[in-house]
Amino acid sequence: MVIEIPEDFSERVTTVLEPDPKKLELNYIQNEGLNFMAAQVTKSATEKLREKLANKITEQYVNNIFASLGDVSNGFNTAADGSAQLHDGTAELHDGTGLLLTSLNEKSADISKLAAGTLELKSGSGQLASSLTGKQGDITKLAKGSKDLKDGTSLLLSSLNEKSTDITKLADGSADVNAGTGLLLQKLKEGQPGITQLAAGGKLLDEKMPELKGGTESVLAGLQGAQQAVKAKIGPGTASVAGGIEEVIKNSQNLGNNLQGLTALLEAYFANNPGLSSDPEFLKILGTSRAIRNAATNPENAAKLQELQAGANQIAAAFNEKIPAEQGSLASGINQLVVGQSLINNGVTDLAAKAPTLAAGTASVAAGWDEMIKNVGLLHEGTSQIAAGNKSVNSGWGTITAGVKELDGGAALISAGNQTVDKGWRELTAGAAKIHSGAVQVSDGNISVEKGWGELTDGVTKLNEGAGKLYDGSGQLAAGLKDGAEETGKIQADEKNISMFASPVELVSNKVHEYSLYRDSTAPYVMTLALFIGILIMSMFINFKKPKELNASKISWFAAKFLNLASLAVVQAILLSIVVLALLGLEVTNPAGFILFAVIVSIVFTAIVMFFASFGNIGRFILLALVVMQLSTTGANLPIDMLPEYLRSISVYLPFTYSIAGFKALISLNGFTMAMINLGVLLGYLVIFALMTFTVYAFKTKEEPQHTDLAM
């Protein structure tokens, strides 16, 4: 063997701490063809050389490391001082986060109240918008009915005005009645349809008057209810909304200022402690603080709150009775509408009181008109009464016309007022919807604030807990570094300690069933091969053919040949055992068992050889090939467990496997029981090959003359 040390061997020793360290190499070249076992021995020598050299290099490494421990101790002292300063800083951080957490917890109840109040506002504004929307249909019907009333009174007034001329002519012509009753009769007939219409109109007006009076009273009651709702609920509610929004703006500004201070503290602490860039919990806290600060100080959010404040103030002003209607006060307009509707309701009441009289008068006129037509002959006699009656009719007609005119004016006011009510009601509904929308936004915003406040409180709680853990950990770090400096300062390594680090493990060799001589290790293989080859050779001097003159059965023939060869095998085994034990001095744990095992193995080999020899030289040649095959597959040179898998499978069926194992058990392993187990397997071979040999003999029919020549 040749061992070669490369030129860069010592240089590679110094690369142990480099990014790409290079292992040291020792090159060795073996000539296995000269002697395989010697190659195995020299290979073990190289391992021993490598181990010694590696221990020496490791010893130098350890020596350098111990020399550097002084610097490590100084570094621990410096780190301990720095960690003590960190410990003091974390104490201040923990106090600050505790104060912040206390402040957040104190304001949490107010935030919850604010969120609950806006929820109630949202619910109330929703009910208001729903109520106004539900009554919109009734208000629209009222407006339409009042318009129909206006059209009816206009039609009635037009009709009265049209007939007023006739009544005047009637009154003026009453003086000329005596001049021509025929002309009077004619005029009375011409005026009869008008009188009939007049009677029908008076009756219709009397019939419709309760409905008109009920409608005006319903309108008045509705307006008064709306007026009372504005005074008692809507007005104060809108004022509370405006005040609550103003309080939200103030709290949002305070929250933004506080969050700016908190974020500034966290960012300053982060800048002073770069190591926190790898702490995901602290980065999450810092990011959350920044996001909340940006949301609280966002100018767009502040502008939206101001717009919401302005809208709430406008809504509150719309329900303020002290502001005139022309300046946008819905409450003042409703008050004026109530006053106008009261006047209309009073006019309708007066009209309702006079309507029966009007109806009765028109009915009487109609009846008298008919009577006058019938009694035209008597008209001349009552001219003075007719003149007085016509004068009264003319005066009453004017009164009716004036009343209807007033009724038409009141109906116009009712129609215009109801149209205004309808328009105002729609605007009120739209305003209530806007109030509800604003209240929803305020409620959602406050709920978001409450949720964010809770999340902020949780985050600050975790921050406070983390600051406490940081405080405890920095204290432990300072104490640990100080202890580490003290411990490393105490390390004083001498040559024995360095040697222990370099080579901490020693091999303690202990052998069982040790061979006293190397030849003893090959004895099982040599014994097996000697017994088998000896029998194979002896079989060449025995004639296994049946003699022609021998009149014996095939069983007798087989038994004679088998016993002949077996007796030689027994003698061979005994002689070989004596030579090995007595002359060569082989030490065995059980000499008697050794001899017995050798004898039985010889007999088993006899059955095997006799089977193949029964086929002549061809069988012996095959048997010799099987012997060669068994030399390396039955545990002779290498253990069976070290063979390839397919060879291990074949070795199970080879007899040498069990004979070699049995001899090993008796020679070096003191395993008589193991030898008997292998002997049992070999007896199985004896039975199988004896039966196979007998079968071959049983089918042989050719008989040859007996001779003593070689069976060759």
Tell me what pLDDT residue 548 has.
58
Q: How large is the average pLDDT for residues 198-218?
A: 81
Taking the C-alpha atoms of residue 33 and residue 218, their distance in angstroms, rounded to an integer, is: 130
Question: Whole-angstrom Cα distance, residue 558 to residue 693?
Answer: 8
Q: For residue 466, list its beta bridge partners.
A: none
pLDDT value at position 608?
93
Percent of the chain with pLDDT over 90: 6
Question: 461: alpha, beta or left, given left = phi > 0 and alpha = psi -120 to 50?
Answer: alpha
* Averaged pLDDT of the chain: 79
349 or 171: which carries more pLDDT confidence?
A: 349
**Lowest mean per-residue pLDDT among 62-76, 188-202, 264-278, 675-689:** 62-76
H-type alpha helices, 491-590: 495-502, 518-539, 554-578
8 Å CB contact between 143 and 181: no
Please give the Cα distance from 428 to 426 (Å, whole number): 5
Rg, Å, the chain Cα set: 67
By the 8 A CB rule, do 482 and 80 touch?
yes
CB 234 within 8 A of CB 128: yes
- What token pair was written down for 358? 């009007």
Structural tokens at position 668:
């070096």
Helices within 174-231 (DSSP H only): 181-229
- Give the model's confidence band at 687: pLDDT under 50 very low, under 70 low, under 90 confident, else very high: very high
DSSP labels for 317-383?
HHT-TTS-GGGT-HHHHHHHHHHHHHHHHHHHHHHHHHHHHHHHHHHHHHHHHHHHHHTHHHHTTTH
Identify the residue whose tokens are 């090993």: 664
Handedness of CA 260, 264, 265, 270 (dihedral sign): positive
Write down the number of H helices and E strands in the chain: 17, 2
The answer on pLDDT for 604 being more than 90 is yes
The region of weakest confidence among 65-79, 528-542, 697-711 is 697-711
**Other C-beta atoms within 10 Å of 242: how many?**
20
Q: Retrieve residue 13's tokens.
A: 């020793």
Q: 550 by DSSP, 3-state: which? A: coil
Structure tokens at 695: 């079968």
Range name among 37-46, 97-106, 122-131, 436-445 with the lowest pLDDT average: 37-46
Residue 508 predicted with pLDDT over 60: no
Tokens linked to 226: 């709306």
The pair of structure tokens assigned to 692 is 């196979």
Which of 152, 80, 122, 142 lies closest to 489 in space, CA to CA? 80
| Lookup result for tokens 């002084």 | 70
Residue 518 has pLDDT above 70, yes or no: no
User: Taking each helix axis from N to C terminus, what angle separates 383-490 and 330-374, rounded to the nearest 10 degrees?
Assistant: 160
User: What is the pLDDT averaged over residues 470-482?
Assistant: 80
- Residue 257 near residue 317, CB atoms below 8 Å: no
Q: What are the tens digits of pLDDT across the range 378-416?
A: 766 866 776 776 677 678 778 878 877 887 887 788 788
Residues forming a β-bridge with 650: none
The answer, yes or no, to whether residue 704 has pLDDT greater than 60, is: no
pLDDT at 214: 86
Q: How many CB atoms lie within 10 A of CB 526?
A: 15
Residue 427 pLDDT > 90, yes or no? no
pLDDT band with cut points at 50, 70 and 90 for residue 506: low
Residue extents of the structural domains in the chain: 1-30, 91-484, 518-698
* DSSP-derived 3-state class of residue 4: strand
Dihedral sign computed on CA atoms, order 47, 48, 53, 54: positive
Residues 6+ apart with CB under 8 A from 666: 588, 589, 590, 593, 594, 597, 672, 675
Global pTM reads: 0.37
Q: Which residue did the predictor score with more confidence, 692 or 298?
A: 692
Q: Which two tokens stand for residue 521?
A: 């290790």
Least confident window among 528-542, 633-647, 654-668, 698-712: 698-712
Torsion of CA 61, 63, 67, 72, to 10 degrees: 50
Q: What is the pLDDT of residue 379?
A: 60
143 sits in which H/E element: helix 36-173
Alpha-carbon gap, residue 451 to 445, rounded angstroms:
10
Helix (H) or strand (E) holding 623: helix 617-630
Cα separations in angstroms, 281 against 83, 93, 116, 406, 462: 21, 16, 32, 84, 9
Give dist(CA 348, CA 656) in Å, integer. 140
- pLDDT tens-digit map of 260-287: 888 888 788 888 888 888 888 888 888 8
CA distance 595 to 679: 13
Mean pLDDT of 627-656: 80
Question: What is the reported pLDDT for 711?
Answer: 39
Residue 550's pLDDT is 52
Give the pair of three-digit tokens for residue 529.
Answer: 């091969």
Q: Are 209 and 349 in contact (CB under 8 A)?
A: no
pLDDT of amino acid 184:
67
State whether the Cα torsion 233-234-240-245 is positive or negative.
positive
Higher pLDDT, 605 or 548: 605
Indicate the SS3 state at residue 3: strand
Angstrom distance (rounded) from CA 201 to CA 332: 39
